Amino acid sequence: MPPARPTHDQSARLDFFEGARSFTYREIVAPLLAEYPARAAAAGISPSTKEEAGALYTADPRYLFACGIQRNAQRMTWHTAAESVHRDGDGLAGELATSAGPGLELDPGLELPAWYTRHTREGRDDIHLVPGGYWGDQLIGAVYDRGGAAYRLAWRGGYDARPGALHAFVRYAAGAANPARVLDLGCSFGGLTRVVHAVLPDAQVTGIDLSAPALTYAHHLGPDTITYAQRDAERTGYPDGSFDLVTAFLLLHEVPDDVRASIMAEAFRLLVPGGLVAFLDIPPYSALDPARAWFESFDGRGNGENYWECFLASDFPELLRSVGFVDVQDGALDFDEPDYWGSSALWREGSFDPVHRWVTTAVKP
């Protein structure tokens, strides 16, 4: 059973928030970025950090307006996504509650780490400003599906309406690894995991996550040839050398530094010699000019991202080398998104792209 369609009113709200975010990026953020050289020249400075560049903007009413739209559109989008999924949600909840069998391995004894539940428990903004975080709502998989699509400016088409980046990423990673066994870390409701399965139909594909509700929804979406397992990526319990390729999409910027380090050590242990890790995430500040880096952090601040800043400021390739990986490579992912109403210009016109993608790969020697 699919989640309930949004009501007329909820649809109008999602359209409005999507339009407001798209407008903000195209008509406010992109022009502010284009003005950067002139602003720096007028101030007589040559910023070397994103904070110095940000100081050129923080008193500008257009910038403050963009911040308000970004943050509050996010908050209201997720609220509306949750409200719409929960409308008549009993049928779906009942179906998910009885999900079991091949392809779904939940672990009711798994203790969720304190860093993961802390923000919601302490009444602070949780990741993405989603009420209840990733774990506190039985329908979070369906909520993420709908809210994530709205974040990608495609809520009417659904989360999978713009799979260009994920397909390009998997083809790139698979070409280098030719894997028979793939593990997708932090798979949530299976956005990347389904693409891995589609691109590599003969591979044995496993997605793991801490969130039982997200995994249950992933399994519900199918196909059941994918295995979804509730495991902590820091200590999965799989034997050494169980996989040829380990992937993750948008996991790295969602965990604290020490957790990211343990996940990398675990990924190293899980790979066969010659196996590959491939991660798709947000570009590091070091790859961006100071003004662009400031606006990248704007996106993080507007989205309740608690670990964005520490990840983007870190030297991730060095972390990979420190746990033993070699041949570490990173760079912007080359991809094209299928056209989608109203939002294609945001991608195609080369204006500020809120979801531009950075790929990092490394090999276990």
Q: Which one of residues 125, 126, 234, 299 is an interface residue with ligand SAM (CB under 6 A)?
A: 234
What's the Cα-to-Cα distance from 281 to each of 89, 234, 284, 330, 333, rounded to whole Å?
Answer: 32, 18, 9, 11, 10
- 354 is a site residue for ligand SAM (CB under 6 A): no
Residue 134 DSSP label: T
- 187 is a site residue for ligand SAM (CB under 6 A): yes
Q: Which one of residues 137, 232, 281, 305 is an interface residue with ligand SAM (CB under 6 A)?
A: 232
- 279 is a site residue for ligand SAM (CB under 6 A): no
Among candidate residues 305, 308, 355, the one with its CA nearest the CA of residue 133: 305
Q: Which one of residues 47, 191, 213, 275 is an interface residue with ligand SAM (CB under 6 A)?
A: 191
Q: Which one of residues 208, 221, 293, 363 is an interface residue with ligand SAM (CB under 6 A)?
A: 208
Q: Which one of residues 66, 255, 264, 271 is an interface residue with ligand SAM (CB under 6 A)?
A: 255
- 141 is a site residue for ligand SAM (CB under 6 A): no
- 281 is a site residue for ligand SAM (CB under 6 A): no
Among candidate residues 316, 248, 50, 231, the one with its CA nearest the CA of residue 58: 50
Q: Is 267 helix (H, G, I), strand (E, B) or coil?
A: helix
Cβ atoms within 10 Å of 83's Cβ, excluding its own: 17
Part in contact with ligand SAM (CB under 6 A); list of ranges 64-72, 221-229, 245-253, 268-276: 245-253
Q: Which one of residues 17, 25, 36, 134 is an interface residue with ligand SAM (CB under 6 A)?
A: 134
Q: d(Cα 217, Cα 50) in Å, to the nearest integer?
A: 39
- 250 is a site residue for ligand SAM (CB under 6 A): yes
- 355 is a site residue for ligand SAM (CB under 6 A): no
- 192 is a site residue for ligand SAM (CB under 6 A): yes
Q: How far is the CB of 323 from ligand SAM (least distance, A)?
A: 16
Q: Helices marked H in the chain — which ranges?
A: 8-23, 30-34, 36-43, 50-54, 61-86, 90-97, 114-121, 140-151, 164-177, 191-199, 212-221, 257-270, 290-301, 308-312, 316-322, 344-348
Q: d(Cα 350, Cα 170) in Å, to the nearest integer?
A: 24
Under 8 Å between Cβ of 281 and 305: no
Q: Which one of residues 254, 281, 296, 330 is an interface residue with ligand SAM (CB under 6 A)?
A: 254
Q: d(Cα 363, Cα 53) in Å, to the nearest integer?
A: 36
Considering the complex, state which of residue 234 and residue 244 has its C-beta at the smaller distance from ligand SAM. Answer: 234
With contacts defined by CB under 6 A, how many residues of the chain interact with ligand SAM?
19
Under 8 Å between Cβ of 194 and 226: yes
Part in contact with ligand SAM (CB under 6 A); list of ranges 185-193, 197-205, 219-227, 343-351: 185-193
Non-local CB neighbours of 27 within 8 Å, separated by 6+ positions:
none
Q: How far is the CB of 199 from ligand SAM (least distance, A)?
A: 14
- 186 is a site residue for ligand SAM (CB under 6 A): yes
Considering the complex, state which of residue 188 and residue 361 has its C-beta at the smaller distance from ligand SAM. Answer: 188
Q: Which one of residues 69, 200, 203, 233 is an interface residue with ligand SAM (CB under 6 A)?
A: 233
Q: d(Cα 182, Cα 202) in Å, to the nearest integer?
A: 11
- 333 is a site residue for ligand SAM (CB under 6 A): no
Q: Which one of residues 81, 142, 210, 312 is an interface residue with ligand SAM (CB under 6 A)?
A: 210
Cβ atoms within 10 Å of 296's Cβ, excluding its own: 21
C-alpha Rg value of the chain to the nearest Å: 20
Contacts to ligand SAM by CB under 6 A:
134, 186-188, 191-192, 208-211, 214, 232-234, 249-251, 254-255
